[in-house]
Amino acid sequence: MTRRLTRVLIVDDSAVVREIICDAIAQTPDMEVVGTAADGEEALGLFRKTRPDVVTLDIQMPVMDGLEALDSMLAINAVPIIMVSALTQIGAEITLDALDRGAIEYLAKPER
């Protein structure tokens, strides 16, 4: 019997960060990327369409920010959402707000 892969949606306005996270997931045998999005609005559409098991979500993005996307996603389906943030003072406060709203964890933005 084949084990079902954990389906991951990656959301970040930085193409470089999306690529880094995609590469990390590609090296994990029990996970697959089901979509990538550059803003919260695009992410919400993909969230509905792909029904991921886990989401990595940037906080500061154009069109719809990560907090608004977080609230919308959790209202649709309460999957684990991991916030990805640059750990500045302001970013840290927003990250704590995201955790209060239902995100399960946060990661510092990866760098090449």
Q: In terms of C-beta distances under 8 Å and separation of at least 24 residues, what long-range contacts does 88-96 make, across chains too?
A: 91/59, 91/60, 94/59, 94/60, 94/67, 95/59
For the record, the structure tokens of 97 come out as 């707000």
Structural domain count, the chain:
1
Question: Does residue 1 lie within any of the structural domains?
Answer: no
Question: Does residue 31 lie within any of the structural domains?
Answer: yes
CB-based contact 83:59 (threshold 8 Å)? yes
Q: What is the pLDDT of residue 88?
A: 56
- Global pTM reads 0.90
- Domain range enclosing 67: 6-108
CATH, residue 34: 3.40.50.2300
- Report whether pLDDT(102) > 80: yes
pLDDT, tens only, 57-88: 998 888 999 999 999 999 999 999 999 887 65
Question: Does residue 10 lie within any of the structural domains?
Answer: yes
